[in-house]
């Protein structure tokens, strides 16, 4: 979009919420987010609290675009989504999967700090058992392995028929090395952090370091910028989220609907990890898919899950700082 709404307008429409999770995820049990009410509808600003302002400002740009800008051409009105399996114990796997109605794909978190490869093998094997031979199982290491660990882990976990491995290592050079080492297994390598947290999100593609890209609307600065990256990269993509509320997932769903080719189920089913949301009609999976629609927020839920005053002010200060960077 060409211009920004006034800062005072943003702050006047801002609602800071703190939502409980059904299980610990990324080391947190509460998800904080800001919901804005723009002229085009509700939108979201929810970079994780540890992110610095320069990175968080990109998320703010995305939220502003969705609430104050125009949507691109859309190619579909529903998006098939994957279930997300946190790094839980095996006994919890079936309970987590039960929250995702009809999903044929599961993304399993692996390489969790404090856990072992044996823990990963047990969790992934249980997911494969429950999904059956026709289910799709993908892994997400969040850059938690070095190259040798990644090669060993992927070889070990390949017995569970893996769709692809997301961000096995932290750097682009490491991804390229792992991709070469595991190519004979026929398991694709996907890049996430190496796209959304990189100064050059196209470096992965130019370095032949991945077979597909994970794109997320907020971290990449909005739908328009994300679509530009998809177009120039020329690789298949999975559209994913960052533990957003249903408002943020609506933003992701509109990005997914605007991508011409979408061969993989998308990581936009994470509302099932929230014990509460900001709407009476959350974007949770139904028959393995979510609708592409704007989300109407609930004034009651915004009030019931309002963040404490000190957290509200923390987020408002963050908005002011990030706005100044745009």
CATH number of the domain at 30, please.
Answer: 3.30.390.10
The string of pLDDT tens digits covering residues 72-128 is 999 999 999 999 999 999 999 999 999 999 999 999 999 999 999 999 999 999 999
- Arithmetic mean of pLDDT, 199-215: 95
- Arithmetic mean of pLDDT, 225-249: 96
- Arithmetic mean of pLDDT, 46-65: 97
Helix, strand, or coil here: 107? strand
- Answer whether residue 249 shows pLDDT above 70: yes
- Answer whether residue 28 shows pLDDT above 70: yes
Mark whether 264 and 321 lie in a shared domain: no
What are the phi and psi torsion angles at 17 (to 5°)?
A: -120, 155
Domain count, the chain: 2
Task: Decide if 1 is inside a domain.
Answer: no
CATH number where 119 lies: 3.20.20.120
Mark whether 34 and 93 lie in a shared domain: no
Q: Are 58 and 230 in contact (CB under 8 A)?
A: no
Mark whether 160 and 254 lie in a shared domain: yes
Task: Decide if 25 is inside a domain.
Answer: yes
Task: Decide if 253 is inside a domain.
Answer: yes
In this prediction, residue 144 carries a pLDDT of 97
Mark whether 38 and 131 lie in a shared domain: no
Mark whether 106 and 160 lie in a shared domain: yes
- Answer whether residue 2 shows pLDDT above 80: no
In this prediction, residue 199 carries a pLDDT of 84
Task: Decide if 2 is inside a domain.
Answer: no
Provide the annotated binding site: 140, 166, 192
- Answer whether residue 1 shows pLDDT above 70: no
Provide the pLDDT confidence category of residue 164 given band limits of 50, 70 and 90.
very high
What token pair was written down for 106? 């599961």
The string of pLDDT tens digits covering residues 287-313 is 999 999 999 999 999 999 999 999 999
Task: Decide if 272 is inside a domain.
Answer: yes
Spell out the SS3 assignment of 187-248.
CCEEECHHHHCCCCCCHHHHCCCCCEEEEECCCCCCHHHHHHHHHHHCCCEEEECCCCCHHH
Mark whether 261 and 163 lie in a shared domain: yes
Percent of the chain whose pLDDT exceeds 70: 99
The string of pLDDT tens digits covering residues 148-157 is 999 999 999 9
Mark whether 255 and 316 lie in a shared domain: no
Mark whether 46 and 84 lie in a shared domain: no
Distance (Å, whole) CA 269 – CA 49: 22
Mark whether 11 and 30 lie in a shared domain: yes
Q: Are 53 and 325 in contact (CB under 8 A)?
A: yes
Whole-number Cα distances in Å, 117 to 123, 147, 153, 237, 321: 10, 14, 7, 27, 41
The string of pLDDT tens digits covering residues 43-55 is 999 999 999 999 9
Residues involved in catalysis: 109, 216
Task: Decide if 291 is inside a domain.
Answer: yes
Task: Decide if 43 is inside a domain.
Answer: yes
For residues 210, 51, 81, 159, the Cα torsion angle rounded to the nearest 10 degrees is 50
- Answer whether residue 167 shows pLDDT above 80: yes
Mark whether 295 and 306 lie in a shared domain: no
Provide the annotated binding site for Mg(2+): 140, 166, 192
- Arithmetic mean of pLDDT, 220-235: 96
Tokens 């800071």 label which residue?
16
Spell out the SS3 assignment of 263-295.
CCCEECCHHHHECCCCCCCCCCCECCEEECCCC
Mark whether 62 and 209 lie in a shared domain: no
- Arithmetic mean of pLDDT, 223-237: 97
pTM of this prediction exceeds 0.75: yes
Task: Decide if 214 is inside a domain.
Answer: yes
Percent of the chain whose pLDDT exceeds 90: 95
Number of Cβ within a 10 Å radius of residue 75? 13
The rounded mean pLDDT for the chain is 96
Domain that holds residue 123: 78-299
Mark whether 141 and 167 lie in a shared domain: yes
- Arithmetic mean of pLDDT, 167-187: 97
């Amino acid at each position: 979009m060409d211009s920004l709404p006034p800062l005072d307008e943003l702050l006047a429409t801002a609602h800071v919420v703190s939502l409980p999770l059904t299980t610990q995820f990324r080391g947190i049990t509460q998800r904080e987010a800001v919901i804005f009410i723009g002229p085009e509808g509700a939108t979201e600003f929810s970079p994780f609290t540890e992110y610095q302002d320069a990175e968080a400002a990109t998320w703010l740009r995305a939220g502003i675009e969705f609430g104050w800008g125009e949507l691109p051409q859309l190619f579909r009105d529903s998006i098939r989504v994957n279930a997300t399996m946190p790094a839980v114990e095996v006994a919890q796997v079936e309970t987590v999967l039960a929250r995702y109605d009809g999903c044929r794909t599961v993304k399993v978190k692996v390489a969790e700090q404090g856990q072992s490869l044996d823990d990963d093998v047990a969790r992934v094997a249980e997911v494969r058992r429950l999904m059956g031979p026709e289910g799709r199982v993908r892994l997400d290491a969040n850059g938690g392995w070095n190259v040798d660990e990644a090669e060993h882990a992927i070889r070990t976990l390949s017995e569970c028929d893996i769709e692809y491995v997301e961000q096995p290592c932290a750097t682009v050079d490491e991804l390229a090395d792992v991709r070469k080492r595991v190519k004979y297994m026929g398991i694709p390598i996907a890049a996430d952090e190496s796209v959304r947290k990189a100064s050059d999100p196209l470096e992965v593609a130019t370095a032949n370091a991945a077979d597909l890209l994970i794109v997320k609307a907020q971290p990449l600065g909005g739908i328009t910028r994300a679509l530009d990256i998809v177009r120039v990269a020329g690789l298949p993509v999975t559209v994913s989220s960052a533990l957003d509320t249903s408002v943020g997932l609506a933003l992701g769903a509109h990005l997914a609907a605007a991508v011409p080719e979408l061969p993989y189920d998308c990581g936009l089913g994470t509302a099932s990890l929230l014990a509460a949301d900001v709407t009476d009609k959350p974007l949770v999976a139904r028959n393995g898919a979510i609708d592409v629609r704007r989300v109407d927020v609930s004034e009651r839920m915004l009030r019931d899950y309002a963040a404490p005053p000190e957290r509200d002010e923390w987020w408002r200060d963050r908005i002011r700082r990030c706005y100044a960077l745009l």
